[in-house]
Amino acid sequence: METETLRWFQLVADGVTVTEVSQIEGISQPAVSRALSRLELEVGTPLLRREGRVLRLTHAGAAFKQHVDAVLHHLDDGIAAVQQILDPERGTVTIAFQPSFGSWLVPDLVSSFHAEHPHVRLDLRTTADETVPDVGPRSDVDFELSTLRPPQGPDHPRWRVLAVEPLRLLVGPGHHLIGTDTVALTQVADEPFVMIKATSLLRRQSEQLCAEAQFEPNVAFVADDLPTLRGYVAAGLGVAIAPALWGGSMAAPVVGPHVLALTDRGATREVGFSWAPRRRMLPAAELFREHVLARARAGRLPRPV
C-alpha cells in the first residue's frame, strides 16, 4: 500500500471530497479515485460508499480507518524523530510538573532554555495526580518536575534533586504567633488546618509532619490548589503548611497570610527532575536535560525567600 493513498483515504474518510483531495494534492480527480479503488482491492472489501455526492465509510472502512490513523501517526512521529536528529534545535520536549512549580521553577527553566534554544518547542503539562509518576517507558512525557522520589531500580525513573525547598506555616491576620521568628507544629496542634487536596504530595507530607509531632490535624477546609489554600488562610479559616517559595512570594496573588519558619525536622521538600531510563531520548530532550542539570549545579535556580 502506498502511503499517499492511505493519506487520501484518511482525508476522504474525514469528510474531504475527492475533488478537494485532488486540488490539495495537485493531481487529477480520476487518479485519486483509481488509487482508492486499488486500496479497496488490496484490502479485499469496499471501504467507501457513495451517498449522493459524498463518500461515506462502510463498516469495514471505519474499522480500517482506526488502524490507518495509528499507522500514519507513528509514521509522522518517525519522520519527526529523524528531523529532530538532523536538527535538534527544532524538536519538541514534553514536561510534566506539579502545579506549585508553575509560579517559580517552570518559568525560570523555560525562559532560560528558550534564551539559548529559541526554536525548540516545550509542551508543558500540569500533573493531575502527584502521587503517580508521569514519566515512564510508555509515556509520551520526557521529563517530570516533582517532589515524588521514585523507587530505586533499573526500570524506575531516573531522579536528580534540583533544590531543597523549606516548608513554612501560614497563619492568618491577627494570629497569636505573628511576630515569632520560629514555631513548631505542636504550637498549632489544636487549631483548624487548611489542607491541600489528597492527590497532592504536599498533603501527604503535611499529614506526616503532624503525625511526627504526635497529633492528627483538624482539617477544617480542603483546597484544590495553593492560591485557594492561601485565600482560606487569609480569611482566617485555619493555618496551613506550604512551600516557602510560594508562601513567601511577594508576587503571590493573595495578601494576608503571614509566613512563619518551622523548626520541625523534615519541614522541607526535595524538588526533583526525573526521566524514564529505557526511553530513547531525542536530541532536543537531551539539550533540555543538560540545561536543567547544569543550571542546578551552578546554583542558578530561584532561591527560597
Give the pLDDT mean for 265-293: 91
pLDDT of residue 152: 82
Give the start-to-end residue ranges of the domains of the chain: 3-86, 89-305
Whether the per-residue pLDDT at 15 is higher than 80: the answer is: yes
Q: How far is it, in rounded angstroms, from Cα 195 to Cα 203?
A: 6
pLDDT in tens, 44-103: 999 999 887 778 899 999 999 999 999 998 898 888 778 777 777 878 899 999 988 888
Between helices 283-297 and 105-116, what is the axis angle to 10°?
Answer: 120
What mean pLDDT is reported for the chain?
89
What is the CATH number assigned to the segment(s) 89-305?
3.40.190.290
Partners of residue 167 on adjacent β-strands: 243
Whether the per-residue pLDDT at 216 is higher than 60: the answer is: yes
| Residues above pLDDT 70, as percent of the chain | 95
Reported as a pLDDT band with limits 50, 70 and 90, residue 280 is confident
pTM score, whole prediction = 0.67
Q: How far is CA 48 from the centre of its chain?
A: 40
Q: Cell match 527544532: residue?
A: 90
Q: Which element (helix H / strand E) includes 86?
A: helix 59-86
CATH topology of domain 3-86: Arc Repressor Mutant, subunit A (1.10.10)
Please give, one letter per residue, the 3-state secondary structure of 177-219.
CCCCCEECHHHHCCCEEEEECCCCHHHHHHHHHHHHCCCCCEE
pLDDT in tens, 98-135: 988 888 899 999 999 999 999 999 999 998 888 888 88
pLDDT in tens, 222-268: 999 888 999 999 999 999 999 876 444 434 445 678 999 999 999 99
Whether the per-residue pLDDT at 25 is higher than 90: the answer is: no
Distances (CA, A) of 51 to 14, 22, 79: 15, 19, 36
